[in-house]
Structure 1
């Protein structure tokens, strides 16, 4: 065996190492590895004759025998190939070539060889949470899809494969997340429309979905409503006789099941077909009506299941080989912490030059910023087509990004990638964490468990991981099965897993509740047609119930529009009420940093001691997802680390929020979350420092939200320091912030970081809160009007309770305005 040690360049300009070795054999297939049945294929479609299944797997289109065996790759090249659809004769497959697993370019290939079929200029296929399916016309002359031309949505339309012309059949509402299916004879199109409307949260107007049927043969045919189904519809297809629909829905729970819905009796005749613990999704039926294929993610990654509709017996499709139709080599990958000299979990992206991204079979592969990645738990094995590759290895913001071009040859290849820290925050008592991770949340492909979450969060070097038990759009509550009221047993010294809760109101806003011993009930309010359609209890009431168990109450995704922070369906509309009444402990300033920070600064300028935290609001059951800890809060913990100490230090504001840059700030001998008390005008020393893996553009010192100094950046723009004296003559707060442009290896767009305040109390000089108090008084007026117009409070006593809370908050702001004038 021949071994060569190569230098791996890293984003910080230092080097990691990559050990490359190989022995030579010749193979185009993966057969020496043990292949899991849950291999990670998505969007299965059974062929018309029922003998083959097409799937999207790791960004390519593949076909496999219905009864299992060898899965053969059909497409290659740049982009992610998704949503395969068979032609009626089974000789062609249409699909979408997407840059990011969303919408993209319509393409057609020969189903046997993968050879591209020439097409006239085609419209763009639109994409949403799940992509819009493609359907061939029964005569094979045209394709149905959710299309756009010249950037304009043309709805569900035909695309003629010879002439390139399009004809719209129907344009469902954009906000409705519609799903569709074409009948076997091509004469009818079924589609579902949710109750969602523009300007309101998803689920605000009910969990149901209307199923509509429209005649595809007649231009401008008027859709006819078949039924109002009891819950969201996430996919549907016609059965072979066109007399029933197979519908994917979460009715009665949080996860997806298949339902048979007869067209003749859609309500009385609806029949549940699957009863899995997770999601059964993406059904398709063979033309003879004998076979149903669908995906099942009970084992975290998806497996493909086939049901014999005559016997109702299900069988998971086994893989014996994976055939790339080109010579391959086997890669054994190791990821090592250079200083510790031990294997560490790492996020890895491997792309063949001008080609696909690759991941181990069965891994929960993902897409971020248009590139594919997976988590390597220290060691991984992959079978890769022979050729040149680029590898990038990531491990959260404290590690440099390692990257290198390498080549895979036939036979065995070994790579050992060393990762280097550029900073070690934990060594100085700073522990990272975040408060808003959704392990499972619908509209996705994977099913997460504590095991998969440990891998992902460890791979981001995230110390405290607060996961959310919550609803989405309906009555279903995700991840209640993982709630323990304490840290999960799989937690490690470096990665602590704790299922907590997101409380979601469609009017008051959303709060993450952490350090919980019990789930706080109700889990949501204001979702019409559910078990709690009312706007009561209020968020302040829920905060009281949380504090009874010493939980921490945090507002999340606070504001999206800096010019009018109130105006958005997902704004934390009752935050000025809860803060004024002393009910709220903190707020997230990420998830639209500019809008949320503007609200936070106004609250601080009212004199509230109100720290910032971080919550990514990532949805990790989805292939397209942000990263856990992509935004995080670093909390200073004195002495040995524990979850309880981390929570209390976060509650006190001994922390800073960042998506990359690291900050330090002291004023006199005080630091973040502490208070300086002065008898009057006093000159105080300020020492501030910012450090970053990627170049910064600004580092600014703030007093009461105004920039009073900008630090000089180093030549490489990665560090900046302020060390000088300032005169303080009025009460308020001091903070440091840093900003910078995005970078190809930075996961969250633009860089930002913001310390929590050091508070200043100057005797006889209170903070001037007149402007901010007036702002929040107008905010509360708008909120009260919105609550009155919704009319979702069921009794006069409860309405009085709400009015008293609003009025009590007004009293606080009025007093602040008066105190500032005195």
Structure 2
């Protein structure tokens, strides 16, 4: 499965990991510096992490005296030291378990902490985050630190888990300790739940109560049982999740368009791990994107070069995996591409001192040549009420500021409405998307999680791929080409789990009805999923009808061109653990008397956005020549002409 160039790249990544740890030696931009702390996401979010902050001390302060699972705190007190920790870890045989150790000093002089022969200085009143194991030799100020309380001996038993098809398994014992088959990465999701993928797997566990849970992506529920395996014996657990709906049987296939195999991290991920995750989550379409982190290196570039335009080896009739690419500019926004036929010329701009040039639109134009599907990735990070919210202070935070240009010029196909960076009840990205639709842009609703398989525990990105998905309905069998066409046409809806359908006089998302003023149409939204509490039908002017989950009907008399979307919302469930349930369709377009929607308020909103983008580029873009500035401003003016023509 691994061709020689890809194998060599993976070996290079392992060398980077061994030398630099989880940053792999990337330039220390803010998100690179945070990598070690995001293993404890609840506390990392509380950190005061300015550009000049002592992050170890900020992490210590964010803990507020708590000791989360996976961390031990070495308190360096004026009178000596003590070790604070959670429940002791069960050890089935003499060995070591990876450990993150936080040295926290209340002394008024520096303290030297030595871990396995490597010395680290902890400043007065300071802190240091250190990597160790439960078997490490540790001294503090020359005195040995006893790590034995971190573990306890346990009798070994054996567990075999079987569902009859690949699934996601969670096996935990006392204190939330996870157990895994031999050689399987010890992954944990955003909720700190351990998991692995596969079927008919054997693993060693303690001979004490063990909880076994099985799931399989968003089209299935969750099953759970507790067993007490006998010491020295193998216990079979046959458990399977119940299917809630079968999208493929209806001709719909769910995709995660934004997954990284390698992007720094605490391990190096091989294609086999991507295959296990896709099949275990029953994720129909997986787009593995090559991309950079903070410097020049583009991770998984060798895999892209080898497999561009071809299905990855584990693809079958209902599971399609492709190599794609992420183009990145932190000032103007990131774009992911699915269905690329060949590697692009440009992968990133603005990093490592490079100019923010060529403009995003120019790169999108090149990526579109082989008919790839382009979508802005994690576009907006919180509530958005005005165009000013998009610019903020010009921070380089991946906001999709150039989207207003590329949408007007037809250079992108869609927008990630669901992504990791905004988990609010009404994502800001959705509000901007509706503005863009109302201003006459035809964009598909897309989704991508930004899962990174090279992290075993890292905020949302270590959760399994596909926890948010875009469903598309291709014509004919599932292929890379048929799926790309369905995405481009907007035959999509995005979801955290609920099934959602929209019909307008029999037409679905991505389709257009040509009406005359006074024509009446029937709108129907249908949902499935136990977490759906509310259905809504919306036009460019806002909500048209709402009701409980199940089915919602309404009629509309055509007065002026508009669009119709359906939205489903609800509470938390095991199928949408990171946010409240949410699903949103792409629009059905209602043209009236030959005119397309161009709501004046939305067009003017986009024109104001363009004015602010012009100012931002002039003030903040890293450009070396007046010609580079002119290239940006030319695209802004072309987009302005498009919007003004719609008025």
TM-score, structure 1 length as denominator?
0.61
Match of 1:506 among 330, 355, 361: 330
Question: How far has the Cα of 1:728 moved from its partner?
Answer: 2.2
- Once the two structures are superposed, what CA deviation does each residue of 1:127-172 show, in whole Å capped at 9, x if it has no partner? 9xx9999678799924799xxxxxxxxxx99746xxxxx25889xx
User: Structure 1 residue 697 and structure 2 residue 553: aligned?
Assistant: no
Shift of 1:460: 0.8
* Partner residue, 1:788: 618
SS in 2 for 1:387: coil
Instruction: Quickly say closer, same or farther: Cα 1:616–1:705, change in 2 above 3 A.
Output: farther
The offset of 1:661, in angstroms, is 0.5
Q: Is the 8 A contact 2:531 2:581 kept in 1?
A: no
Matched with 1:639 is 476
Q: Specify the alignment match of 2:144 in structure 1.
A: none
Aligned equivalents of 2:317 and 2:285: distance in 1?
10
Alignment match of 2:317 (pick from 482, 493, 507):
493
| Aligned residues of 2:439 and 2:606 also touching (Cα < 8 A) | no
Deviation at 1:324, TM superposition (A): 6.7
Alpha-carbon distance in structure 1 between the residues aligned to 2:109 and 2:417? 44
Structure 1 residues 424-470: Cα deviation after superposition (integer angstroms, max 9, x where no partner): 1101111111210011111x222211111000111111011001100
Q: Secondary structure at the match of 1:451?
A: helix
Q: Does 1:124 align with 2:65?
A: yes
Q: 1:521 aligns with which of 342, 345, 355?
A: 345
Residue 16 of structure 1 is matched in structure 2 by none
Residue 424 (str. 1) matches residue 246 (str. 2):
yes
CA distance in 1, matches of 2:644, 2:109: 57
Match of 1:584 in 2: 412
Matches within 5 A, 1:322-471: 325-336=153-164, 344-410=165-231, 411-442=233-264, 444-471=265-292
**Conservation of the 8 A alpha-carbon contact between 1:634 and 1:657:** yes
Other structure's SS at 2:161 match: strand
Distance (whole Å) between structure 2 residues aligned to residue 187 and residue 388 of structure 1: 39
SS at match of 2:240: strand
In structure 1, what is the Cα distance between the partners aligned to 2:641 and 2:70? 50
Distance in 2 of aligned mates of 1:599 and 1:189:
48
Return the alpha-carbon distance in structure 2 between the equivalents of residues 804 and 745 of structure 1. Answer: 45
| Equivalent runs, 1:589-608 vs 2, <5 Å | 589-591=417-419, 592=422, 594-608=427-441
Kept after mapping to 2: 8 A contact 1:445/1:621: yes
Distance 1:143 1:799, change over 3 A: farther
Identify, as 1 or 2, the structure richer in helix.
2
More deviation, 602-611/518-527: 518-527
Task: Name the structure 1 match of 2:90.
Answer: none
In the TM superposition, what is the alpha-carbon distance from 1:579 to its structure 2 partner? 0.9
* 2:553 corresponds to: 723
> Which of 679, 683, 706 is residue 516 of structure 2 equivalent to?
679
- In 2, the alpha carbon distance for the partners of 1:581 and 1:475 equals 29
Q: What residue number does 1:738 align with?
A: 568
Match of 2:295 among 474, 479, 489: 474
User: How many residue pairs get matched?
Assistant: 549
Deviation at 1:607, TM superposition (A): 1.3
SS of the residue corresponding to residue 710 of structure 1 reads strand
CA shift digits 1:348-368 (9 cap, x unpaired) = 112225552222222122222
Query: Partner residue of 2:98?
Result: none
Name the residue aligned to 2:57. none
> Post-superposition shift, 1:753?
0.5
Shift of 1:286: 9.1
Among 71, 80, 95, which residue is 1:141 paired with?
80
Q: Does 1:655 align with 2:489?
A: no
Which residue is 2:444 aligned to?
A: 611
- Structure 1 regions of 5+ residues with no counterpart? 1-42, 45-82, 84-95, 105-121, 146-155, 161-165, 171-179, 191-213, 221-233, 239-280, 288-322, 337-343, 714-719
Sort the Cα spacing of 1:641 and 1:354 in 2 relative to 1 into closer, same or farther, 3 A.
Answer: same
Aligned pairs for 1:11-26 (under 5 A) are none
1:536-576 Cα offsets, whole Å, 9 max, x none, are: 01110001111222222211111122232443622101000
- How far did residue 680 of structure 1 move? 1.2
CA distance in 2, matches of 1:365, 1:603: 42
SS at match of 1:805: helix
Q: CA deviation digits over 1:513-538, x for unaligned, max 9?
A: 12112222221101133xxx111011
Contact 1:586 1:612 in 2 (8 A): yes
Determine whether 1:752 maps to 2:582.
Answer: yes
Tell me the equivalent position of 1:667.
504
1:572-611 deviation line (CA, Å, top 9, x unaligned): 0100011111211111101226111111100100111111
Give unpaired runs (5+ residues) of structure 2. Answer: 1-16, 19-35, 46-62, 85-100, 140-150
Cα gap change, 1:427/1:744 in structure 2, threshold over 3 Å: closer, same or farther? closer
Q: Which whole-Å CA distance do the structure 1 matches of 2:303 and 2:540 have between them?
A: 42
Return the alpha-carbon distance in structure 1 between the equivalents of residues 558 and 573 of structure 2: 37
By how many angstroms is 1:673 displaced? 0.5
Larger radius of gyration: 1
Matches within 5 A, 1:71-150: 124=65, 141-142=80-81
Deviations 1:318-372 (A, max 9, x none): xxxxx97222221111122xxxxxxx11111122255522222221222224343
Distance of aligned partners of 1:169 and 1:285 in 2 relative to their CA distance in 1, 3 Å threshold: same
Closer/same/farther in 2, CA of residues 640 and 183 from structure 1, 3 Å limit: closer
Which of 767, 791, 795 is the aligned partner of 2:597? Answer: 767
Q: Aligned partners of 2:238, 2:182: CA distance in 1, in Å?
A: 20
Structure with the larger strand share: 1
- Work out which structure has the larger RCO, using CA pairs closer than 8 Å and 6 or more positions apart in sequence: 2
Distance 1:326 1:754 in 2: 49
Cα pair 1:543 1:584 within 8 Å, conserved: yes
**Contact 1:732–1:759 (CA under 8 A) maintained in structure 2:** yes
Give the SS at the match of 1:348. Answer: strand
Between the aligned partners of 1:396 and 1:187, the Cα distance in structure 2 is 43
Give secondary structure in 2 for the equivalent of 1:384.
Answer: strand
- 1:25 is matched with none
Residue equivalent to 2:30? none
1:794-813 Cα offsets, whole Å, 9 max, x none, are 12222222211111112222
Tell me whether 622-631 or 734-743 shows the greater mean CA deviation: 622-631
Specify whether residues 361 and 701 from structure 1 end up closer, same or farther in structure 2 by C-alpha distance, changes over 3 A only: same
Matched-pair contact (CA < 8 Å) for 2:502–2:526:
yes
Deviation string 1:54-76 (CA, Å, 9 cap, x unpaired) is xxxxxxxxxxxxxxxxxxxxxxx
Say if 1:387 and 1:407, in contact at 8 Å, map to a contact too.
yes
State how far apart, in whole Å, the 2-side matches of 1:573 and 1:181 are: 47
1:726 shift after superposition: 2.5
Instruction: Please give the secondary structure, in 1, of the residue aligned with 2:153.
Output: coil
Contact 2:496 2:575 in 1 (8 A): no
Shift of 1:393: 0.6
Q: State the distance in 1 between where 2:42 and 2:180 align.
A: 15
Mean Cα deviation higher: 747-756 or 571-580: 747-756
Distance 2:299 2:154 in 1: 42
Q: Which moved more, 1:788-797 or 1:550-559?
A: 788-797
